[in-house]
C-alpha cells in the first residue's frame, strides 16, 4: 500500500511539473519582461525591426503627393511613389527613412526632408486554451495577460502559470512564466496550454 502511495505521489509531482513547464525550461526574466516604461506608462519597443504587415507613415515635407501610409508587402518592401520599392523587412524605421531620403535626393528632390513612424504593427496570434483564439491587432506595451484578455480570457482548462511564445520567423516556442510583466511583440504567436488537473 505504501509503495502505491509513493508511486502515485511521484506521478502527481511529474504531472504537476509537466502542467507547469510543458517541454523545456521556463524563462521568468530577461528582455521579455518589462523593465523600462515610457512616460505614458507603456513599455517601449526598442530597436523595432519592420516586417510584413507593418504599416508606416512616411512624411516628405512640402511634398503632399509623396506623403502617405505604406504597408510592408509580402516581398518585404514598401512601394513608395516616385522611387519605387524600398527594402524594409528587418530594418528600423530610421534606416528606411534614411534610404528613402537618399533615393529622393538622387535626382528627384533637392534636399528632401523625410520622417517616418509605425502607425500599425503587424498582428499577434493567440492559440490554445483561450475563449477566442486568433489574430489580434498589436498595441505598444501589450503583455501576455492583456493578450489573453483580448482573446476573451482563459478556458477552464487553461494553464495559467506558463505560456509558450514563438517569435515571428522562429521555428520553436519558448516557455515563459506568465506574469503581469511578460511582454508580447508584434508578430508573436502565443499558445496557452492545457493544465492536467
pLDDT digits (tens, 9 = 90+) for 51-78: 999 999 999 999 999 999 999 999 999 9
Q: Is the pLDDT of residue 90 over 90?
A: yes
DSSP state of 129: S
Across 29-52, average pLDDT: 68
CATH of domain 20-44+122-194: 3.10.560.10
Q: Is the pLDDT of residue 149 over 90?
A: yes
**What is the full DSSP assignment across 40-81?**
TSSBP-TT----TT-EEEEEETT-TTT-EEEE--TTSEEEET
pLDDT band at 36 (very low <50, low <70, confident <90, very high): very low
CA distances to 9, 74, 190 from 125, in Å: 37, 18, 6
Domain 55-120 has CATH 3.30.1950.10: yes
Mapping DSSP to helix (H, G, I), strand (E, B) and coil, where does residue 154 land? strand
- From first CA to last CA, the distance across the chain in angstroms is 24
- Is residue 184 a contact partner of residue 118, using CB atoms and an 8 Å limit? no
Q: Is the pLDDT of residue 191 over 50?
A: yes
Beta strands 174-177; 26-27: pairing state: parallel
Alpha helix (H) ranges present in the chain? 2-21, 93-105, 144-150
Which has more pLDDT, 141 or 177?
177
pLDDT band at 103 (very low <50, low <70, confident <90, very high): very high
pLDDT band at 23 (very low <50, low <70, confident <90, very high): low
Q: Is the pLDDT of residue 174 over 50?
A: yes
The fraction of the chain above a pLDDT of 70, given in percent, is 82
Q: Is the pLDDT of residue 152 over 80?
A: yes
DSSP state of 196: -
The pLDDT value recorded for residue 27 is 85
Q: Where are the domains of the chain?
A: 20-44+122-194, 55-120
Residues, the chain: 197
The pLDDT value recorded for residue 29 is 79
Q: Is the pLDDT of residue 16 over 80?
A: no
The pLDDT value recorded for residue 44 is 54
Q: What is the pLDDT of the chain when averaged over all its residues?
A: 85
- Is residue 197 a contact partner of residue 133, using CB atoms and an 8 Å limit? no
Phi, psi of 69 (to 5 degrees): -105, 130
Amino acid at each position: 500500500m505504501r509503495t502505491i502511495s509513493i508511486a502515485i505521489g511521484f506521478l502527481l509531482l511529474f504531472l504537476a511539473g509537466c502542467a507547469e513547464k510543458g517541454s523545456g525550461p521556463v524563462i521568468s526574466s530577461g528582455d521579455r519582461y518589462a523593465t523600462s516604461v515610457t512616460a505614458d506608462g507603456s513599455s517601449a519597443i526598442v530597436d523595432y525591426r519592420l516586417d510584413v504587415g507593418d504599416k508606416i507613415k512616411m512624411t516628405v515635407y512640402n511634398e503632399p503627393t509623396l506623403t502617405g501610409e505604406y504597408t510592408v508587402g509580402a516581398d518585404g518592401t514598401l512601394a513608395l511613389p516616385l522611387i519605387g520599392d524600398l527594402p524594409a523587412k528587418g530594418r528600423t524605421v530610421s534606416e528606411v527613412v534614411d534610404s528613402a531620403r537618399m533615393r529622393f535626393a538622387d535626382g528627384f528632390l533637392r534636399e528632401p526632408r523625410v520622417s517616418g513612424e509605425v502607425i500599425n504593427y503587424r498582428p499577434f496570434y493567440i492559440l490554445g486554451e483561450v475563449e477566442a483564439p486568433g489574430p489580434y491587432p498589436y498595441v505598444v506595451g501589450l503583455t501576455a495577460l492583456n493578450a489573453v484578455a483580448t482573446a476573451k480570457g482563459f478556458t477552464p482548462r487553461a494553464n495559467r502559470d506558463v505560456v509558450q511564445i514563438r517569435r515571428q520567423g522562429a521555428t520553436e516556442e519558448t516557455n515563459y512564466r506568465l506574469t503581469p510583466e511578460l511582454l508580447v511583440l508584434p508578430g508573436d504567436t502565443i499558445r496557452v496550454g492545457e493544465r492536467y488537473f
